[in-house]
C-alpha cells in the first residue's frame, strides 16, 4: 500500500506516520467487518487508498471551525460572539508570531506592566481614572468582589440576581469570591429605603447588575444609579456596576435602542464598572474593569489577577479595536459587530433575494425556499426585549405532513454538514436563515458550497 502512487501523495501531505496508521486502521476495519482478508488486486488497493484518504482528511479537519451564523442572534455566545476587524486580526498575528514588549518598558529598559497597553485607551474612552483587563467579564466580577468584599456583605437588589448562560450565576460567583450576598427588596420592586436598611458596618460595597438577558415589566421599581451613588457616598461604601454588554458608544446615534454605557455609569458616580470585551464592544473575549484609581490599584494587586490575566493576543486585538473608537464617524463601518447591527433591512432583503434562487436550485424537489421578513436580536444579553427588523430565507421541506419534523432536522443537518457549516433556526416547520450576518463579501463563498448541499440533502433523505 505504501508504494502506491495515491499513497505517496498522501504521505507528502500528511506524513508517513499518519498514513501508515490510517492504512492499518482501514485494513483492520475491513478484516473485522467481512471476516475476510482484503484481496491484493489493484482495484481493491485503490478502494482502500480512497478510504485512507477520506479518513486522513476527516482526521485533519480542525474541531474549531468557521461557520455561517444565520441564527439571527448577532452576538451569539455559542458561535463565538463578535467578529474582529482586520486591524485586530493583523495585530494578533504580529503579537503571536514573535517576541513583543508585553511586559517590557522600552523607554527604561526594565520590566513593564501588561495593562499599560490598554489602560490609557480605556481611560480616554470611558473617562475613568484607571483600568485593568482580565479574561472575561465573569472573571472581572469575581476579581472585583474578591478584592473589595472578601468576608463582607454585598447588598444586591433581588431583581438583579442574574443567571447568564454558561452557568454564570451571581449568587454563586459571590460565594466563590468569598463575600456574602445580602438580598435587597423584591423581584419586581426595590426602593432606596431597602438599601438604606441593608447597608451597615459589614457592608463592603453595593452592587448593581444590569438586567442583561431579561426584562422585568409591569408593577416595577428600581433605584436609579445616580440615587444609589448618593446613598453609597453618604454611607462611604463604593458602588460597583456590572454592565455586562457595556456598549462604548451611544447606540441611539446609530439608530439602535439604547444600551447603558460605562461612560454613563462613571458619570453617575459609580466607583467601579465591569463589562465584556466581546459583546457590544466588538472585540476579543475579555473582562474590562474601569473606575477609581485607588480601587483599581487594589484589584491589580490581588494574586487572583495573575490567574485571570489576558494574553498578548487579547491585548493586541483589544487595543486595535479600541483604536477604532477614536474615529467614531467610521466606527460602525469598520467594526464588524456594529456594521452587522446597523445594516439596513433593504440591504439584507437584497442579499436574501440574490441568494434565494441559488439555495432553491440546490434543494429542488427537497425543500421550497422563500424570502421572508424576520427580526434579529443583538444577543449576549444586550437589549433582550428589543428586536431589529431583518430579512431571511424560509426553507420548508417538501415532505410536509407526517414526518416533516424529521425532514426539517435532516435539512438542518445537511446545512451543518457543509464545508463551512450553516446554522439557522427552526421556526414553525421551516428552517429560517436570517441573512443579517451574511456579509456581502461572504455571499460567493456561501453560494459556492451549495452544490454540496444537494448531495448531502439527498444522502440524508
Ligand atoms: C455577559 C454578562 C456577564 C458575563 O460576561 P462574560 O464576558 O461572558 O464572562 C456578566 N454580567 C452580565 C450582566 C452580563 O451580561
Distance CA 377, CA 388 (A): 6
Q: What is the pLDDT of residues 195-212, one digit of tens each?
A: 999 999 999 999 999 987
Question: Residue 461: pLDDT above 60?
Answer: no
CA of 235 to the centre of ligand 1 (A): 28
Domains 68-78+340-460 and 86-334 share a fold: no
| CATH number at 86-334 | 3.40.640.10
Q: What is the mean pLDDT of residues 118-135?
A: 98
Q: Residue of the nearest CA to atom 1 in ligand 1?
A: 244
Question: Residue 78: pLDDT above 70?
Answer: yes
Q: With CA atoms as reference, report the closest residue to 253 among 244, 243, 263.
A: 263
Which band of pLDDT confidence, cut at 50, 70 and 90, is reported for residue 459? Answer: low
Spell out a b/e string for 316-332, using b for 16 or more CB atoms within 10 Å of the CB, else e: bbbbbbbebbeeeeebb
Distance CA 95, CA 104 (A): 14
CA angle, 324 then 139 then 298, to 5°: 90
Q: The C-alpha cell of 141 is what?
A: 466580577
User: Which residues are CB-neighbours of 449 under 8 A, at least 6 positions away?
Assistant: 418, 419, 420
Q: What is the mean pLDDT of residues 414-424?
A: 95
Average pLDDT, the chain: 93
Domain boundaries, the chain: 5-60, 68-78+340-460, 86-334
Task: Establish whether residue 238 lines the binding site of ligand 1, counting it when its CB lies within 6 angstroms of any ligand atom.
Answer: no
Please answer whether residues 314 and 286 qualify as being in contact, where contact means their C-beta atoms are separated by less than 8 angstroms.
yes
Q: The C-alpha cell of 260 is what?
A: 447603558
Task: Establish whether residue 246 lines the binding site of ligand 1, counting it when its CB lies within 6 angstroms of any ligand atom.
Answer: no
Q: What is the pLDDT of residues 346-379, one digit of tens each?
A: 999 999 999 999 999 999 999 999 999 999 999 8
- Give domain 68-78+340-460's CATH number out of 3.90.1150.180, 3.40.190.10, 1.50.10.100, 3.30.70.380: 3.90.1150.180
Least-confidence region, from 72-81, 86-95, 322-331, 382-391: 382-391
Ligand 1 site-directed mutation target among 134, 165, 167, 168, most atoms within 8 Å of CB: 168
Task: Establish whether residue 381 lines the binding site of ligand 1, counting it when its CB lies within 6 angstroms of any ligand atom.
Answer: yes
Amino acid at each position: 500500500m505504501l508504494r502506491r502512487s495515491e499513497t505517496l501523495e498522501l504521505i507528502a501531505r500528511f506524513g508517513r506516520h499518519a498514513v501508515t496508521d490510517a492504512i492499518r486502521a482501514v485494513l483492520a476495519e475491513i478484516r473485522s467487518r467481512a471476516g475476510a482478508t482484503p484481496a491484493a488486486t489493484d482495484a481493491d488497493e485503490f478502494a482502500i487508498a480512497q478510504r485512507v484518504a477520506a479518513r486522513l482528511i476527516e482526521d485533519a479537519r480542525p474541531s474549531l471551525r468557521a461557520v455561517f451564523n444565520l441564527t439571527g442572534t448577532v452576538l451569539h455566545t455559542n458561535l463565538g460572539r463578535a467578529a474582529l476587524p482586520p486591524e485586530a486580526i493583523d495585530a494578533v498575528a504580529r503579537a503571536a508570531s514573535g517576541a513583543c514588549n508585553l511586559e517590557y518598558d522600552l523607554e527604561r529598559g526594565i520590566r513593564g506592566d501588561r495593562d499599560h497597553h490598554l489602560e490609557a485607551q480605556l481611560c480616554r474612552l470611558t473617562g475613568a481614572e484607571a483600568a485593568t483587563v482580565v479574561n472575561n467579564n465573569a472573571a472581572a466580577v469575581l476579581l472585583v468582589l474578591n478584592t473589595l468584599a472578601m468576608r463582607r456583605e454585598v447588598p444586591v437588589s433581588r431583581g438583579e440576581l442574574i443567571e447568564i448562560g454558561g452557568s454564570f450565576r451571581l449568587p454563586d460567583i459571590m460565594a466563590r469570591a468569598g463575600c456574602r450576598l445580602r438580598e435587597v427588596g423584591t423581584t419586581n420592586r426595590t426602593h432606596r429605603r431597602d438599601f438604606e436598611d441593608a447597608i451597615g458596618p459589614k457592608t463592603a460595597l453595593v452592587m448593581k447588575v444590569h438586567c442583561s438577558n431579561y426584562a422585568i415589566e409591569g408593577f416595577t421599581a428600581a433605584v436609579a444609579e445616580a440615587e444609589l451613588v448618593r446613598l453609597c457616598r453618604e454611607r462611604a461604601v463604593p458602588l460597583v456596576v456590572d454592565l455586562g454588554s457595556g456598549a462604548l458608544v451611544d447606540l441611539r446615534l446609530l439608530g439602535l435602542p439604547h444600551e447603558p454605557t460605562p461612560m454613563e455609569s462613571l458619570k453617575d458616580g459609580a466607583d467601579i464598572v465591569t463589562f465584556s470585551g466581546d459583546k457590544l464592544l466588538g472585540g476579543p473575549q475579555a473582562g474590562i474593569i474601569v473606575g477609581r484609581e485607588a480601587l483599581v490599584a487594589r484589584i491589580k494587586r490581588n494574586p487572583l489577577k495573575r490567574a485571570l490575566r489576558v494574553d498578548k493576543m487579547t491585548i493586541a486585538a483589544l487595543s486595535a479595536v479600541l483604536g477604532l473608537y477614536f474615529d467614531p464617524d467610521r466606527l460602525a463601518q469598520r467594526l464588524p459587530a456594529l456594521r452587522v447591527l446597523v445594516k439596513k433591512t433593504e440591504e439584507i432583503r437584497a442579499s436574501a433575494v440574490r441568494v434565494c434562487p441559488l439555495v432553491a436550485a440546490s434543494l429542488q424537489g427537497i425543500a421550497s425556499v422563500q424570502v421572508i421578513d424576520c427580526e434579529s436580536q443583538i444577543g449576549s444579553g444586550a437589549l433582550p426585549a428589543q428586536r431589529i427588523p431583518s430579512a431571511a430565507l424560509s426553507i420548508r421541506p417538501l415532505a410536509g405532513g407526517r414526518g416533516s419534523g424529521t425532514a426539517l432536522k435532516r435539512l438542518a443537518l445537511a446545512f451543518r454538514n457543509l464545508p463551512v457549516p450553516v446554522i439557522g433556526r427552526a421556526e414553525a416547520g421551516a428552517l429560517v436563515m436570517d441573512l443579517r450576518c451574511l456579509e456581502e463579501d461572504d455571499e460567493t463563498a456561501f453560494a459556492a458550497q451549495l452544490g454540496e448541499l444537494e448531495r448531502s440533502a439527498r444522502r440524508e433523505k
